[in-house]
Amino acid sequence: MNSYKAPLNDLSFIFNHLLDQEQLAQLSGLEDLSVDLYESILDEAGKFATNILDPINASGDREGLKINQGEVTTPKGFKEAYQQFVQAGWNNISLDPEFGGQGLPYILSTAVNEIMMGANKSFVMCSGLTIGAIEAISHAASDELKQKYLPKLVSGEWGGTMNLTEPGAGSDVGALKTKAIEQADGSYRIHGQKIFITFGEHDFTDNIIHLVLARLPDAPEGVRGISLFLVPKFLVNEDGSLGERNDVRCVSIEHKLGIHASPTCVMAYGDDEGAIGYLVGEKNKGLAAMFVMMNMARLTVGMEGVALTERSYQAALDYARERVQGVDVETAKPVAIIEHADVRRMLLTMKAQVEAMRSLSLFIAQAQDMSFRHADMNVRKHQQGLVDLLIPVFKAWATETALKTTTLGIQVHGGLGFIEETGVAQYLRDAVISVIYEGTTGIQAADLVGRKIVKDQGKNLAVLIGLMKETLAETQASAQLTDIAKEFAAAIQVLEDNSQLIAAQFMQSTKQALSISVPYLMLVGIVVGAWQHAKSASKAEELLASPSENTAFLTAKIETARFYHRVILSEIYGLAHTVRSAGDVITEFKDSYFGE
């Protein structure tokens, strides 16, 4: 099995040439930062990923988790790696310095996240969920709760979890039934069962702080009657020391297709006298507190698609260069399989997809940084609009794409890819859940069409298309990029036409529009990916004028963009045909037609 290498060259290109470092350096709190600093941090992250996390990825997958009387043991080496991870501060890059975070921008934590997840997705989920808990507490909790819990969550001394799902309440979180009863001292007693709780129990930390959605006895039905509670595994004394064990336990862990080293727990709250919890934010406003972190959580899940595509690509590339099999169709000489045209197509597909996704992820992270830190409130709003529009697109497109790319990674290996010891099957297994959690692809598509396009009257989409047209103009100005410019121009037109079409359809029949919302979302994702490649190609072309630059790398960026535009981008013509032709064929199909 090959060793994971952080994609530092590509990240360096994006940080230096695609992100707007001039603007970023003017943002509040980022004034002293430079690309050099970012690069040195990414370099260190790469070393950590390669040396500490990658070596326990396959072994963690094989060994899996153990549960004994509610105590979960993570695979060999994970606990020690976690100590090193938090000591180095990889867990709190972008968190608030007030509670011990490093206050660095999302562009950096997003890139670091890709690197760490590329080396070991299961491992990173613990701190990922903890960050979610921290953000919810930061946004909604009382100062007392913040002071008591945030410092140790931010330092990584304690872990955090998010408890939404119940057996009868998955995508429809409003259906949840867990109860919270107020006590005389202002605390609550929580009773109920939560499922699919990532790192709900583990041996990384001494305490685990659960954020739990529950219902007060007199709460309204549905999403307007949900409150958020903080429920520590061990109660915390006034002096910060650990007190009694709370009435919450991990009943079982799931046996899953992938992410074998990430415990997915069934959590029982209040089997005895009730788990003690503290209200976070206002009563019945729990969902709002949770939704604060949704954009960032969805960005993180999308990054899983980027990370696993990169990991699978590296394995496939190494193998394709080493493995000699068959002869070249022109020279009739034995060749490494990378020389076979179809293997090359598969590798290029993986490479072009991962670069498009990575570049988009950092564009979104930059927009998020600007929306949080820019001096001008109008700029903040403008940037947040782009984030809101692009998040569902990125989450669904990157994770669905990863299913295809990690499958290609297996295929490049031939029969060996099917053998678990080869390692590439794990990347597919680990990738499957990403299309489901934090909202399935269908839910992202409904969000995109209903809330981000129709409700917004297409304003943010118009902004996005405006940005694409700026890039198009740059591409059109280069004599070397005429094929890219031609394909990209056509693609923008397809995007505009289909967006108008689906918005109009949504007004006529919401259901019909939703029935083709996933094909439409994928179309948007693929065009946005083309935009990233067009930007890269333009920039690379410009840089090639200077002799000091890395010619091979820049030429590769242009040729990869060319491949994306002439091969990957083609798919939009199929998707557009679906959006145009489907009509009522899905919505009018009767239940009984599906068969017995």
8 A C-beta contact, residue 548 and residue 471? no
Among 205, 407, 498, 505, binds its own copies (CB under 8 A): 407
Residues numbered 366-405 forming contacts with its own copies, rule: CB under 8 A:
403
| Furthest-apart CA atoms within the chain: distance in Å | 85
Q: Which two tokens stand for residue 460?
A: 């943010």
Under the binding rule (CB under 8 A), the answer on residue 428 touching its own copies is yes
Q: At what angle do helices 294-322 and 106-119 cross, to 10 degrees?
A: 50
Find the shortest distance in angstroms from Cβ 378 to its own copies.
34
445 touches its own copies (CB under 8 A)? yes
Q: Between residues 187 and 444, which has the closer beta carbon with respect to its own copies?
A: 444
- Nearest of 370, 438, 427 to residue 402 by alpha carbon: 427
Convert residues 468-497 into a mask of x (bound to its own copies by CB under 8 A) and - (unbound): ---------------x---x----------
Q: For residue 271, state whether it binds its own copies (rule: CB under 8 A).
A: no
427 closest CA partner among 300, 256, 259: 259
Q: How far apart are CA 30 and CA 28, in angstroms?
A: 6
* Count of residues that bind its own copies according to CB under 8 A: 101
* Contact call for residue 427 and its own copies (CB under 8 A): no
Q: How many Å apart are CA 277 and CA 408, to the nearest integer?
A: 47
Tell me the three state secondary structure of residue 77: coil
Residue 163 binds its own copies, judged by CB under 8 A: no
574 touches its own copies (CB under 8 A): yes
Query: Given the complex with its own copies, which of 378 and 508 has the nearer CB atom?
Result: 508
Q: Which helix (H) or strand (E) holds 72?
A: strand 71-73
Exposed/middle/buried for 114, CB within 10 Å: 0-12, 13-18, 19+? buried
> Closer to its own copies at the Cβ: 99 or 488?
488
Residues 233-262 that bind its own copies (CB under 8 A): 254-258
User: Is there a contact between 246 and 153 (Cβ–Cβ < 8 Å)?
Assistant: no
- Of 114, 438, 474, 487, the catalytic one is 438
Binding of residue 563 to its own copies (CB under 8 A): yes
Between 20 and 571, name the residue whose CB sits nearer to its own copies: 571
Nearest to 368 by CA among 436, 304, 292, 305: 292
Q: Map tokens 């396009």 to a residue.
A: 453
**116 vs 435, which CB is nearer to its own copies?**
435
Q: Kindly state whether residue 411 participates in binding its own copies, applying the rule CB under 8 A.
A: yes
The tokens describing 95, both together, are 């968190």
Contact status: 2 vs its own copies (CB under 8 A): no
By beta-carbon proximity to its own copies, the closer residue of 477 and 586 is: 586
Nearest to residue 78, comparing CAs of 53, 51, 101, 115? 53
* Residues between 29 and 88 that touch its own copies (CB under 8 A): none
Q: How far is the CB of 42 from its own copies (least distance, A)?
A: 16
**Among residues 410, 503, 524, 534, the one that binds its own copies under rule CB under 8 A:** 410
**Cβ-based neighbour number of residue 144 at 10 Å:** 9
- 12 with 39: CB under 8 angstroms? yes
Among 158, 196, 363, 394, binds its own copies (CB under 8 A): 196
> Minimum Å distance from CB 402 to its own copies?
11
Q: For residue 282, indicate whether it is catalytic.
A: no
432 binds its own copies (CB under 8 A): yes
Catalytic residues: 438
